[in-house]
Amino acid sequence: MTNDSHQTTRRAVTKALGGSITLLAVGAGSATAAEAAVATRDATDVGDRYATLNGDLTDLGGASSADVYFEYTREGSDDVRTTDSRTRTATGEFGETVRDLFPNTAYRFRAVAEADGTTVTGDWKGFYTTTF
| Chain segment 87-128, per-residue pLDDT in tens | 999 999 999 999 999 999 999 999 999 999 999 999 999 999
Higher pLDDT, 26 or 117: 117
Give the type of residue at 103. P
**Residues 98 and 53 placed together within one structural domain of the fold:** yes
Which residues 6+ apart lie within 8 Å of 32 measured at CB? none
* Its pTM surpasses 0.95: no
Domain CATH number, residue 94:
2.60.40.10
**Nearest one of 4, 96, 105 to 48, comparing CA atoms:** 105
4 phi, psi to nearest 5 deg: -60, -40
- CB of 60 within 8 A of CB of 115? yes
Range of the domain at 61: 37-128
3-state secondary structure of 29: coil
- From CA 4, how far away is CA 113, in angstroms rounded? 44
**Residues 83 and 120 placed together within one structural domain of the fold:** yes
**What was the pLDDT predicted at 19?**
52
**Residues 51 and 82 placed together within one structural domain of the fold:** yes
